[in-house]
Structure 1
Amino acid sequence: MRDALASWHMGRVIYAYRSHPYHGQTLSQELVSGWLGLTQPQLSRLENGRAPEELSKLIRYSDVLGIPADLLWFDRPGETRQPAGGTEDEAAAPPSSPPIKIVKTYGSAPQEDGPDDRLDERNQKVDGRRQETSDEPTANELAARLLPEATIEELSRLSASLRDAYRFLDSDVVASVARQLDRCKSDDGKTGPAQVLPTVLAILELVSQQVRDVRAEVRRQLLTVGADSAEFAGWLYRDLHDPASAAHWYDRAMEWAQAAQELPMQGYILLRKSQMAYGDRDAARVLVLAQAAGSGPWQLPTHVKAEVLQQEARGLAMTGEPIGLAERKLGEARTLLRDAVADSVAPLGPSYDEGTWLLRSATCYIEAGKPQLAAQLYAEALARGTLARRDEGYYRARRAVACALAGDPDDASHEGLAALEVADTTSSQRTRREVRRVVRILTPWQRHRGPRELRLAVQAYG
């Protein structure tokens, strides 16, 4: 493991982990790829190809495998690496025992055990449906990771539920996890995806591991929180520009929503998939998924119906339909949004409001070849000052695109630089991708001061 970690190649680390003698036999690629949200061929390419460099993936894989932060060649959010104590020679010396925590595997997901040179003989293989339990400190650590702002009572209940889900994982524990998920959603808009992703992945790990063992009357509640968490994870990976991971979690969200018989959530996930297809520039998929979201056997909240109609308008604009048809859908969406009552806002799509309608309408006009009108709508929405910091950065980048397409290099450069500054603090790869698009559009003006400064800034940010 030490040699693999020293190579700075996550694929080699995963292979060393799979083949570690502690497991008794080499773990199959099929098993481990499932933990990592990959297919078996993807894991094979990861282990045998060039070293992956995308930070979001490195964070995710190291988190799943339980690699201590001090052994990594990159920083995980909230876990700054600490150099070894003592002299430089002492720090450079290899440790006397393997430093990584090896995972003992039973069931479909990994659980932490002790280091391989200090196996805890108290761990027992238990029969049938119960997974192997961890010792109390490990359960307490995971509970604190899941609920960092919880009370002592909440942590105690969660810790007990991790050791024995059937007896202790009840509705109160599920409610605590749901509240933590809401906090993650709130923090995401301020700090960006990298800060909240580890906690969200911990929630998903909890659901995956415990859903088989909880009592029947709690299972549906846990699956509902799991579907909500997986949908949110899909969004986080979209913002990190990791479409493969986003698609994986959207699929898992749909599976759990179906198992929980949560029909509205299924329609909402189709809407989210349509929105992801927009980022992939897949016009037909944008339209088809939006129409499916609006016509399924579910009753969506009124404001979500409005969002679906607006997404359909975007698909119509992308596929070259007459602008009048798209504008009719936009008008229907706005009427529905104004009719939406306050109690319909939760729990799906709570952020969709008049400002969001303006921003998404601007996108439609970009697709319809009317960038000047799009730039005006973006400016109107941004002037309200109601957007979360991450969203402000992204939509400034989108306005920069509109200005560039409209032949206004100065405004495009100004907005692009502002967006890039925000992206640096929120780690939004979506925003950086849009700013790079602005630079390409501004190629005819590359000798002008503004476009030149923007190009240099993009190169500096990498």
Structure 2
Amino acid sequence: MRASLPINVPDSVWTHADMPAALAAGAANGTIGQLLKLVAQYSGASQSQLAFVLGTTQPKISKYMNDVMRVERMDMFRRIADGLGMPDEARMAFGLAPRTRGLRPPPQQTAHAQEPATATDNRSVTDIPVVSDTEGVAIPCRASDGRIIWVSIPRRTFLLGGVAAATAGQARDRSVRPTSRLAATTAAEPSPIEHLERMRLMLVESDNLLGPRHVIPTVHEHVSVIQQLRSTANGADRRALQRLQAWYGEFASWLHHDAGDFSEARVWTDRALTWSQSAGDPQMPAYIYARKSQLAGDMQDVAGALDFAEAAFDLATPRSKLKAAAAAFAAHGHALNGDRDATLRMIDEARATLADLDADPESPWAVWMNDAYLDVERARCFALLGDHDGAAGMFRRAIDDLPQGFHRDRGVYLAREAQARAGAGDVEQAAHVGKAALSVAIETESGRLINELARLDRQLAEWHRVPDVAEFRDYLTTTLPQEKD
């Protein structure tokens, strides 16, 4: 069965006479049967459609609707509220904080402070806009002509929510402002800065497990909290918050990058770069330049990939992993440009740097950079340069050596191996490997991985009558929403 587009819950549902009791029951004891029945009745949504927008299964929706199962985890409350597009009044009745909490500009600011930031934005931290429920969210869709395209739909009809269980208590206690918490912290408890640092690491793990779309809203909210804390902090606290804000900005960029929203990813890398300039660590701008090079490469922007990699390479500490990463991203830029000699030269530069590292176990920069990662980048470059057989073998060896826990990266590498095999003419094996990559894409909701599979889909289109290829393309089609005529 083909997936349908997300449901549209009419605004009138939230003012229905029975809705207050339905929301109160959910908040009190997790019974949401009446809530889902009202939504289904007035939106026309099936149980399968409800399962889709709430990130669960149809059998569980049936149990929820019959009050056989109750909601117990805070992340599920959030997914329900966000998936159904609850307005703030309904969210509060449901036991959640409003989405706009703490994000309104101070009284002395004018309305223009809420205008969307541009890619060169360097305004004060209170100027980051609220992500509205009606803002477009991009999702992959199979077009009527067979292409895979990205379409924008209202956020309130799609977003599955963040992973905010660990901060649910703070979200519910709206009487405590972050700025007052900084002053009230005692030596016996972690400071808000320490808490936000730990939360970032937890969110990184959540991204690895659940994919970027579940984490993005919480990261945006934490950036706002950091901005509010900075407004009253001084001295070392202010510098620590500036550095933390840059870290969160870079993480937001990665999440949007992996979700397939390259435009928003570029905005966040530019913000992070601006914030990093005064963070007190000269290696932070170097790292963000490397990330800008990586993003530009994925956007097929040759000049950007090369220029940002060169900036990162010049700033990076000699004999560091960050220096090696900058060389690897430069190699990708040269490969995009078809320059084989320059590509091999930068790969050799990266390999030599890794072989002669000035080991610093405390360094947070490019900790993922190692020989295995470089092998993957080398394989990607060889595929771009036309050596598809060699690239396929390199990808296979890298995948076999990949440590456990890198589930999403494994999916990306599988998709790239499949592309290399298709380029070499082994279309049946390409389709087989592509199906394995698609399974990872479904589990992680990685837009980056979907983009790789879309390229494979285009490569295999001319062999659509080959049974294995047809099966892969049908499998891909059934996982994507369909464009309506």
- TM normalised by structure 1 equals 0.69
Q: In structure 1, give the amino acid aligned to 2:317.
A: Q
The answer for the alignment partner of 1:201 in structure 2 is 220
Say if 1:159 and 1:185 are closer, same or farther in 2 by CA, change over 3 A. Answer: farther
Say if 1:214 and 1:260 are closer, same or farther in 2 by CA, change over 3 A. Answer: same
Say if 1:442 and 1:336 are closer, same or farther in 2 by CA, change over 3 A. Answer: same
CA distance in 2, matches of 1:147, 1:51: 26
Would you say 1:400 and 2:414 are equivalent positions?
no
The answer for the alignment partner of 1:329 in structure 2 is 346
Q: In structure 2, give the amino acid aligned to 1:449.
A: P
Would you say 1:175 and 2:194 are equivalent positions?
yes
Q: In structure 2, give the amino acid aligned to 1:374.
A: A
The answer for the alignment partner of 2:259 in structure 1 is 240
After superposition, the C-alpha distances for 1:173-208 in whole angstroms (9 at most, x for unaligned) are 212211221122233223211232233222211112
The answer for the alignment partner of 2:296 in structure 1 is 277
After superposition, the C-alpha distances for 1:218-251 in whole angstroms (9 at most, x for unaligned) are 0110111111111011011001111121111111
Q: CA RMSD in A?
A: 4.3
Give the superposition deviation at 1:51: 8.0
Q: In structure 2, give the amino acid aligned to 1:328.
A: R
Would you say 1:52 and 2:123 are equivalent positions?
no
**How do residues 59-458 of structure 1 correspond to structure 2 at under 5 angstroms?**
72-77=156-161, 144-145=167-168, 162-164=178-180, 167-168=183-184, 172-296=191-315, 299=317, 302-321=320-339, 323-340=340-357, 342-344=359-361, 346-386=363-403, 388-458=406-476
The answer for the alignment partner of 1:111 in structure 2 is none
Tell me which of the two structures has the higher relative contact order, counting C-alpha pairs closer than 8 angstroms and 6 or more residues apart: 2
After superposition, the C-alpha distances for 1:346-371 in whole angstroms (9 at most, x for unaligned) are 31222122211111111111121111
Give the superposition deviation at 1:311: 1.1
CA distance in 2, matches of 1:187, 1:370: 36
Q: In structure 1, give the amino acid aligned to 2:222.
A: I
**% same residue:** 27
Q: In structure 2, give the amino acid aligned to 1:181.
A: R
Contact 1:303 / 1:344 at 8 angstroms: preserved in 2?
Answer: no
Give the superposition deviation at 1:444: 2.5
Contact 2:253 / 2:264 at 8 angstroms: preserved in 1?
Answer: yes
Contact 2:319 / 2:354 at 8 angstroms: preserved in 1?
Answer: no
Say if 1:334 and 1:178 are closer, same or farther in 2 by CA, change over 3 A. Answer: same
CA distance in 1, matches of 2:353, 2:347: 10
**How many residues are paired up?**
368
SS of match in other structure, 1:259: coil
Contact 1:372 / 1:402 at 8 angstroms: preserved in 2?
Answer: yes
Contact 1:143 / 1:159 at 8 angstroms: preserved in 2?
Answer: no
After superposition, the C-alpha distances for 1:299-330 in whole angstroms (9 at most, x for unaligned) are 36711111111111111222222x23321221
After superposition, the C-alpha distances for 1:427-460 in whole angstroms (9 at most, x for unaligned) are 1011111111111111221110111111111211
Say if 1:169 and 1:269 are closer, same or farther in 2 by CA, change over 3 A. Answer: farther
Give the superposition deviation at 1:77: 2.8
CA distance in 2, matches of 1:288, 1:53: 30
Q: In structure 2, give the amino acid aligned to 1:271.
A: A
Contact 1:145 / 1:202 at 8 angstroms: preserved in 2?
Answer: no
The answer for the alignment partner of 1:461 in structure 2 is 479
What stretches of structure 2 of length at least 5 have no aligned partner?
1-9, 15-41, 44-81, 89-98, 122-130, 141-149, 481-485
Contact 1:191 / 1:390 at 8 angstroms: preserved in 2?
Answer: no
Q: 1:31 aligns with which of 93, 106, 113?
A: 113
Say if 1:197 and 1:300 are closer, same or farther in 2 by CA, change over 3 A. Answer: farther
CA distance in 2, matches of 1:264, 1:396: 32
What stretches of structure 1 of length at least 5 have no aligned partner?
40-45, 63-71, 80-140, 149-154
- TM normalised by structure 2 equals 0.66
